[in-house]
Amino acid sequence: MIVDYALYQNGVRYKEPSNLPELISKARNGEGFIWLGLAEPTPNEFEKIVGDFRFHPLAVEDAITAHQRPKFEEYPGVQAFVLKTAFYDESSSQVSTGEIFCFIGDYFIVVVRHGNGAPLVNTRHALESNPEQLAKGPYAVMHAILDHVIDCYIDISIELENDVIGVEQKVFSGTSKTVSRDIYLLKREIIEFRHAIDPLLSPLQQIASVGARNIPESLTPFFRDTLDHLARASDAAAGLDSLLASALQADLAQVQVQQNADMRKITSYVALASVPTMVAGIYGMNFDVMPELRWKYGYPLVVGSLAILTVVLYRKFKKSGWL
């Protein structure tokens, strides 16, 4: 499905009514460049719409099937750039990802989107309001897309940081309830987020390097700036992942400490009950001749001794922190 397309001449959108083949012909003749946006096209739609560009079959297959790692590849007459978009659902604290494929040539950029996250409508409008930047050609469009997607990464990292802080507060709240399930689910979202960010570092470093092939020198500082933003988002995600691992260990340690405390209490109460049980067991035996059995002070002496022993044991356990 076509989202939008336009011919840009010196950074200004071509206003005259024209169909896509006519605009492609103008761009091919050096009258600007085409920016074509597609959303989840079928193979037939893709071939019908962009067949005139003569993309490499492998690039076409990647754009249609999606599920690719972020990468930057060169084909005859065209370069393909793949990056993942990310979307954070506040209601469920889940991160979902999509993909953007950019096909860049001398006179065109074709953008294919799959999934949710990082809509590009505002990106096009913002770039159209900056003709000086847009006049730098298709790679200026690719930079704007990258910049927008990476800004979304940073926003998501802030949301995930808030979730991690919430989990840490639960871990150290002093309650005996474990939050390992919450930690695991959040860690899974951060791992999915990192799968979108970390693989993008290498291709972006390739583009941002001085003297990169086909990249206008005037855009190199802009790509380096987006690389710095991406590195910041990547470092933030790695730090959150490490914090969650530490939080999980702390949670499990607290559970173990609580279990040990419970076992100490149980052991203490068993010890307190063992002395009266032992004495009662001895005097419960049916022998005719036993010490103090017929002595009138025998009963109060035994009960008093049991009470004293129990109090002594209780105070010792209390002092040692077992009770």
Q: What is the fold, at CATH topology level, of the domain defined by 260-319?
A: Methane Monooxygenase Hydroxylase; Chain G, domain 1 (1.20.58)
More confident residue, 55 or 194: 194
Are 72 and 215 in contact by the 8 Å Cβ rule? The answer is: no
Mean pLDDT of 71-93: 85
What are the pLDDT digits (tens) for 254-294? 777 777 777 777 777 777 777 777 777 777 766 666 666 66
Mean pLDDT of 195-214: 86
What are the pLDDT digits (tens) for 83-129? 999 888 877 778 888 899 999 988 899 999 888 766 777 888 899 99
Quote the tokens at residue 127: 């770039």
Mean pLDDT of 46-69: 79
Decide: helix, strand or coil at residue 12: strand
Mean pLDDT of the chain: 84
* pLDDT value at 231 more than 70: yes
At 145, the pLDDT band (50, 70, 90 cuts) reads very high
Mean pLDDT of 205-219: 83
More confident residue, 232 or 66: 232
Q: What is the fold, at CATH topology level, of the domain defined by 2-254?
A: Beta Polymerase; domain 2 (3.30.460)
Q: Pick from 83, 88, 89, 53: which is nearest to 68 by CA?
A: 83
Are 35 and 13 in contact by the 8 Å Cβ rule? The answer is: no
The full set of domain ranges for the chain reads 2-254, 260-319
* pLDDT value at 174 more than 80: no
Chain-centroid distance of CA 278 in Å reads: 60
Helix axis angle, 43-50 relative to 57-65, nearest 10°? 130
Quote the tokens at residue 307: 């009470």
The count of other CB atoms within 10 Å of the CB of residue 222 is 20
Are 5 and 35 in contact by the 8 Å Cβ rule? The answer is: yes
